[in-house]
Amino acid sequence: MPRLAPRSVHGPGRPASWVRVSRALLTALLVLGVGGCVTEENGKPVAKTVAKPVDPQEVERLARIHLELAGGYFGRGQSNDALDEVRKALAAKPDLAAAYNLRGLVYASLNDDEHALESFRRALQLAAHDGDTHHNYGWFLCQRQRFGEADAEFAQALAEPTYRGGSRTMLAQGVCQARSGELAEAERTLSRAYELDPANPSTAVNLAEVLYRRGEFERALFYVRRVNTKEDLASAQTLWLAMRIEHRLGQDQQVQDTGARLRSRFPQSREALLFEKGRFDE
């Protein structure tokens, strides 16, 4: 089953572009200006520095810059660098909920469940109605097989009136329901996700998998073929799913045709080996 890339921080998801900031600019932003005044000590004038008031807008801007950089590092798999930037963002603005949300994702990727939980919960303390955080927290719980809690978080995300990631959350929720064995509920959820975003191949494949497991072979074949007709979307897993369905339907010629395509494109795959051995039930 295709892996989902859980959503990240910022608006409906991870920022569309990362802000590139030079070291010099970051250094300049980090330095708080000081102003001078003169006092007297033993009758002699002595310069005394006094910190200038911090501009809240500049603090917010600095925190967001570090958060953007953290997201960029995380997207490239540089988790430790991402954490460093998240720390800087929180040093500038300790109540930035999006930073805790991203920190939760990073710690989850490092299998540091304790700090991931702490981060997601802190994010929700600061922004209880943030749909993205509920989604990310739900997916984290699903991966830890805490299915009931995960479903509640997905439902909370979907209930937020300003949340715009409905189809994405329904996809994650449906996958989680299928993992827990709730196939009828998973079918309903994934069908709604497909109605909202029929172009998403992950939704089509996961819906096809659920329908296959429920014995709805004709319907399952419809959805997986929509993916396999596009060369850039078809994979060893999607071709193998189609072959398993065709085998159940007794479509021997289609099985051989899809198998030839599988051998040609993914000759070293596990699925190609299973096809050669005729092990369609694995």
Encode pLDDT of 55-84 as tens digits: 888 999 999 999 999 999 999 999 999 999
Q: Which residue is listed with tokens 């540089």?
A: 78
Give domain status of residue 36, yes or no: no
Give domain status of residue 260, yes or no: yes
Q: Residue 282 has what pLDDT?
A: 80
Give residue 234's domain range: 227-282
Give domain status of residue 178, yes or no: no
Average pLDDT (199-221) is: 98
The total number of structural domains in the chain stands at 1
Give domain status of residue 271, yes or no: yes
Instruction: Check residue 17 and report its DSSP letter.
Output: S
Give domain status of residue 86, yes or no: no
Residue 165 · residue 171 · CB < 8 Å? no
Give domain status of residue 173, yes or no: no
Q: Residue 53 has what pLDDT?
A: 53
- Residue 170 pLDDT more than 50? yes
Average pLDDT (23-41) is: 35
Output the average pLDDT for the chain: 86
